[in-house]
Amino acid sequence: MDTTLARPPIGQLLDGRYRVESHLAHGGMATVYLGTDTRLDRTVALKIMHAEFANDEDFVRRFVGEARSVARLSHPNVVTVFDQGADGRTLYLAMEYVPGRTLRDVLRERGRLSPREALDIMDGLLSGLAAAHDAGIAHRDVKPENVLLGEGRTIKVADFGLARLFSQASHTKTGMIIGTAAYLAPEQVSRGAADARTDVYAAGVMLYELLTGGQPHTGDSPLAVAYKHVNDVVPAPSGMVPGLPPALDALVALATSRDPELRPADAGQFLRAITGVRSGLPLGAPPAPLAGGPAAGRVDASADDTMPPAFALPVAWQRTAEAPRAEAARDLIPGMGPPPPARQSFGVPQNGADRPGGTRQWPPRPDQGGAHKTLIVSQGDGPYPPAARRGFLGPREPGLQRLLFSRRLAYVAITVAVLLVAGGLAWWVTQGRYTTVPRVGDMPAAAAQAELRDAGLTVVTGKAQLDNFVAKGQVIRTIPAAGARIARGGRVTLIVSAGPHMVTMPQVTGQPLANAKAAIQHAGMVLGKVKQEPSATIPAGIVISTNPAADTSWPQNKPVSLSVSAGPPVPNFVGSPKSVAEGWAAANGVSLDERTAHKSNQPVDTVIHQSVPPGSPFTKGQVIVVVISAGPPQVNVPNVDGMQVRKAIRMLERLGFDVTVHGLPIFRTVTDYNPKSSAPKGSVITLTTIPFGIGGGG
């Protein structure tokens, strides 16, 4: 995986607003930096996507939509997303900065937490998740690393929606399991399905880890761990830490049922279950960390954390052989379900006072002693059934025995029928007649209506609303919210976007850049790119043009771009004496970095290169590098005096000289040449000649 960034961000000013200060953390999708919002002068956390995601156009499109959805979450237990954007190929989120540690850091330090501490953290976690679930957003990657513990016992959930984006990235392999293996729900592994109930499962695994200091399933590879979630139940925490109250075992069992239908429907339901248990926990001191970590063995929790007897309810756990584990867990949690139905018994009661009419009071009164047991109901006119009493007196006649047996079967059949009817009615009243509102946000209105009708709901369309983040004709939200419980056939109101707010672009052409920025912000618009353009006629810092043009109606959330004069362009100094460049630089407040080229055929002190191309903008104080020729190299001139002209010319040209000849045109020899000794390569050597034999005495 390419975990590099689009470019090194330290010190960079993203979108002209967010200054990247220092590195905070590195992950599989992004790197987090501490940053400063220079516009509002506040500290932020900047999550910058790795290059492989920033280069995926489909991912970028979904990233923008997901960021808008998460930005609408406003809850004290959710990390706030302030802004999203792309600076070139740098894709980023600007988020609330939460100083402190992650829950994973605390677990590494402490090993495990006391029951009250664990449920306090779960309260904050589930409150944040419940807000997201009410808005139709599933987290998909709930784990201690994504729970931030700030100052003043602040608990915040981070990274909503990113796991879903990762799973939809175009380079993600088909069939890849997205999430952290230790917290994957069975349906995520087997079917790739994820909703609010998968978040509840991960929260249940986290509760187990907080109570025991270890994860319920381990293996040699993440895939092995994932498939344990499919095939094995999450064990009771008290199996690792003896003395933990049964109600805590029940909470873990309730949330981690392998059947999602048996879990709480969302984080809000799980939070209500935890609140019922949490209200009865004492303020016990936190336990010491496990020696050697969670794998060191079982730890007795009874010495440092006890539970009031009202929460030690073994009744439901006696039913685990007869009913699903999650249903039994509900009976241990206040408010999560009715008590188990009475079980018929025709045997002799074990202990406890008998009540008139043949029934026994259970649990026993405090003065009777004894442990909690399953409720037993007898029939007849005394503490024992008539048949049992007569059994002590002697044998009955066969006809009477058959009659009593038939009556007994009738009682049993009637009782079973009543229980089945009552159970079915109770299921229909409490669960069967309800469904949940599907998530249809950001869908076209017609598609949303079809999906809601397919779910058996009645659809009405409310008044359209302007929305800067949802395209016209798409659904902003539903009433009730996505994920909410609703009766089958109930009415759901769609709130559809009427498009963004439109504002009029102010006239800022010809104004200084600072004044133009202030006018754009005052109009409620978003400033986008500011492009510097050289101009020989417009002073530096003055706005040349805008997009859109002045008085144009423009979407409020669509960035406005400006072209600003950078002043006169840089001239072309190449081929000019260096004095020309030096004079221009002094007049315009620019510094020259002069460097000498010793291998150049240009005349000495001639500019042969400049670092800033001609026509480019410049700023005062800018440094421009110019390369100055030291002149061509010196070459020794051979002695050609008395040599035939043709031979002398060939010799001098091979050395890089140009040659001119003065004298008679035929039968010449060299009588003189200049310059002598040495001359710059490429310079002219002058030869003087006379005809052969003239002036030489015949």
Instruction: Find which of 148-157, 413-422, 541-550, 660-669 is predicted with most confidence, using mean pLDDT.
Output: 541-550
Burial class (CB within 10 angstroms; exposed 0-12, middle 13-18, buried 19+) of 250: buried
Which of 282, 311, 330 represents a domain boundary (last residue)? 330
> Residue ranges of the alpha helices (H) in 40-146?
51-54, 57-71, 103-110, 115-134
Q: What angle do CA 30, 268, 182 make, to 5 degrees?
A: 45
- Let me know if residue 683 belongs to a domain: yes
Catalytic residue of the set 141, 249, 305, 467: 141
Shared-domain flag, residues 40 and 140: no
Alpha-carbon span 91 to 265, nearest angstrom: 35
Burial class (CB within 10 angstroms; exposed 0-12, middle 13-18, buried 19+) of 109: exposed
656-685 in b/e form (b: 16+ CB < 10 A) is: ebebebebeeeebbbeebeeeeebbeeeeb
Shared-domain flag, residues 305 and 170: yes
Residue tagged 């990235």 (tokens): 169
Q: Which residue has the higher pLDDT, 446 or 336?
A: 446
Give me the percent of the chain exceeding a pLDDT of 70: 72
CA atoms 567, 568, 574, 578: torsion sign: negative
| Active site (annotated) includes residue 141 | yes
Alpha-carbon span 184 to 71, nearest angstrom: 25
Shared-domain flag, residues 209 and 300: yes
Shared-domain flag, residues 281 and 179: yes
Q: Which residue has the higher pLDDT, 120 or 618?
A: 120
Could you tell me which of 625, 624, 581, 576 has the C-alpha nearest to residue 603? 576
433-457 in b/e form (b: 16+ CB < 10 A) is: eebbbbbbbbbebeebbebbeebeb
- Residue 16 banded pLDDT, cuts 50, 70, 90: confident
The per-residue pLDDT for 600 is 80
The per-residue pLDDT for 372 is 34
The per-residue pLDDT for 506 is 94
Shared-domain flag, residues 45 and 148: no
The per-residue pLDDT for 405 is 54
Alpha-carbon span 228 to 609, nearest angstrom: 68
409: tokens are: 């079967």
Q: What is the CATH number of the domain that holds 625?
A: 3.30.10.20
Instruction: Find which of 156-165, 301-310, 612-621 is predicted with most confidence, using mean pLDDT.
Output: 612-621
Shared-domain flag, residues 533 and 560: yes
The per-residue pLDDT for 551 is 92
Beta strands 526-533 and 559-565 are: parallel
CA-derived radius of gyration, the chain: 43
Query: Alpha carbon 348 to chain centroid distance?
Result: 63
| Whether pLDDT at 380 is above 70 | no
Range scoring the smallest mean pLDDT among 266-280, 415-429, 633-647: 415-429
| Whether pLDDT at 352 is above 50 | no
- Let me know if residue 487 belongs to a domain: yes
Beta strands 101-102 and 684-691 are: unpaired
The per-residue pLDDT for 469 is 81
Contact 284, 115 (CB under 8 A): yes
- Let me know if residue 336 belongs to a domain: no
- Residue 318 banded pLDDT, cuts 50, 70, 90: very low
Query: Partners of 634 in the beta sheet?
Result: 680
- Residue 251 banded pLDDT, cuts 50, 70, 90: very high
The per-residue pLDDT for 43 is 93
Alpha-carbon span 681 to 148, nearest angstrom: 74
Range scoring the smallest mean pLDDT among 297-301, 410-414, 580-584: 297-301
Query: Alpha carbon 488 to chain centroid distance?
Result: 34
Shared-domain flag, residues 544 and 596: no
Q: Which residue has the higher pLDDT, 663 or 610?
A: 610
Alpha-carbon span 275 to 18, nearest angstrom: 41
Shared-domain flag, residues 130 and 276: yes
Shared-domain flag, residues 158 and 190: yes
Could you tell me which of 20, 68, 28 has the C-alpha nearest to residue 44? 20
Q: What is the mean pLDDT of the chain?
A: 76
Spatial neighbors of 530 by CB under 8 A, at least 6 apart, are 16, 513, 561, 562, 564
Tens-digit pLDDT profile for residues 323-342: 345 555 555 555 454 433 33
- Let me know if residue 663 belongs to a domain: yes
| Whether pLDDT at 691 is above 50 | yes
The per-residue pLDDT for 599 is 79
Question: What are the φ and ψ backbone dihedral angles of 492, each rounded to 5 degrees?
Answer: -120, 130
Shared-domain flag, residues 448 and 324: no
Shared-domain flag, residues 320 and 347: no
| Whether pLDDT at 245 is above 70 | yes
- Let me know if residue 227 belongs to a domain: yes
Shared-domain flag, residues 106 and 225: yes
Largest CA distance in the chain: 177
The per-residue pLDDT for 162 is 56
Tens-digit pLDDT profile for residues 272-289: 999 888 766 543 434 433
| Whether pLDDT at 649 is above 60 | yes
Spatial neighbors of 391 by CB under 8 A, at least 6 apart, are none
The per-residue pLDDT for 331 is 52
What's the whole-number mean pLDDT along residues 457-476? 89
Could you tell me which of 440, 379, 449 has the C-alpha nearest to residue 414? 379
Provide the residue range defining the domain that includes 530: 502-565
| Whether pLDDT at 524 is above 70 | yes
- Let me know if residue 419 belongs to a domain: yes
69-89 in b/e form (b: 16+ CB < 10 A) is: bbbebebebbbbbbbbbbbee
Which of 96, 111, 127 represents a domain boundary (last residue)? 96
Tens-digit pLDDT profile for residues 628-644: 988 887 888 899 888 88
Q: How many domains is the chain partitioned into structurally?
A: 8
- Let me know if residue 168 belongs to a domain: yes
Tell me how far CA of residue 686 lies from CA of 201, 637, 654, 691, in angstroms. Answer: 98, 11, 15, 17
Could you tell me which of 584, 577, 571 has the C-alpha nearest to residue 606? 577
| Whether pLDDT at 296 is above 50 | no
What's the whole-number mean pLDDT along residues 285-302? 39
- Let me know if residue 345 belongs to a domain: yes
> Residue ranges of the alpha helices (H) in 102-195?
103-110, 115-134, 162-168, 186-190
